[in-house]
Amino acid sequence: MSPQINFVMGAVTGFRRWCGLQPEVLAFAPGRVEILGNHTDYNEGLVMSAALDRGMRLVAARRTDRRVRLASSILGEAPEFSVRDEIVFDERTPWTNYIKGVLAELKKAQIPLRGADVWIDGDIPVGGGMSSSAALEVSTARLFLALADKELSAWEIAHLCRRAENEFVGVQCGILDQFSSVFGQAGHLLWLDCRSLEHGACPAGTGIELVVANSMMNHQLSDGGYNALRESCQRAVAHFQSMITDHPVTALRDVSVEEWDRFKAGLREEDQQRSQHVVEEIRRVDLGRKALMDGDIEGLGRLMFQSHASSRDLFGNSCRELDLLVEIASECEGVLGAKLSGGGFGGCIVVLARSDAAGRTAETLRERFLAQTGTRPEVNRCRIGEGAAVETDLGREN
């Protein structure tokens, strides 16, 4: 089996115990951490991320009645539904909407959906800033494409999953999470221009590890905070469109740091702060990519600390727990950088550390955060992993 499909037998065993059948297909999609580029993707800017060796695994067997039955070791069970009928939003079991949204998009793409019994397993926190939603979407797409014996390109899958989250779930996310889950490369940091979709991967170098610390403050981006930040950015775009006349402005990507400083007057305070973060963050990603290409991993780490300070002080999507984790990490020997990862409002931080310091850093984060908050954080050392994959040879006895 492909090396990026982790803990395969655990997922297969869970499926068998649940429904007593032999599974046919397993799909894996990784979570991701954001290295730089917080909330720059929907502003058509630059982002830098890493796929992880952790994610969501979906195991399934075909059904003949075109009904879908879902159960999960981490999410619970859900009502059955038919892919023959219109796929409708489920207010009582919200996690199923990430799956249903993908299936609705596959139907629009004329993919002949099959019914299936689907078992969902995973080793990334749900609502923890590691893009569990995108991992669930991408693994769903890969699974049901395999069940239908159909294929779509990597970019088609990424865009389809983003549309599912935007239009069905109702979260106006950008493309970063789905891109990272689809295009991940082991040992490489990914970069993406969210306007042109030009992208690449830079070797992360040797002797470097990621430590991901979950604050245990779960966030739900669909609760409105994410969309409110996006609306603030859109108001700022409208302001700069009226002020900058020598070139088009269709997104904050089009506003330079110098132009922001020159034309910021007239913005309401919160829109000024939010847009400052985005404009400066886009520049940080560009500087981070150059640092990585030059082998300046320390420079990349400094930019990560700057990014978190900007999220905290300007963008308003950090929280006390995330700030504390970053503060603790910054005081650990061998740590190069740390920042919140993802939408914010809770969830995880990502720490860039030297390998010989990663274990000590993880333990220090656990001990000091528990001592100061009374909450035990989930802290993991992670490898930079491969993108989504599917296995279709599970029908044989193991």
Residue found under tokens 């269709």: 250
Per DSSP, the three-state class of 383 is coil
Tokens of 137: 């979407």
**CA angle (157, 349, 167) in 5-degree steps:** 30
Q: Are 9 and 159 in contact (CB under 8 A)?
A: no
Q: At what angle do helices 132-147 and 154-163 cross, to 10 degrees?
A: 120
Whether 177 is catalytic is yes
Tokens of 343: 């939408």
Q: What is the DSSP string of 139-161?
A: HHHHHHHHHTT----HHHHHHHH
Using CA atoms, how far apart are residues 49 and 173, in angstroms rounded to an integer?
15
Residues 6 or more apart whose CB falls under 8 angstroms from that of 8 comprise 1, 26, 57, 391
Q: For 219, phi and psi rounded to 5 degrees?
A: -115, 155
Of 177, 193, 296, 313, the catalytic one is: 177
The catalytic residue positions are 177
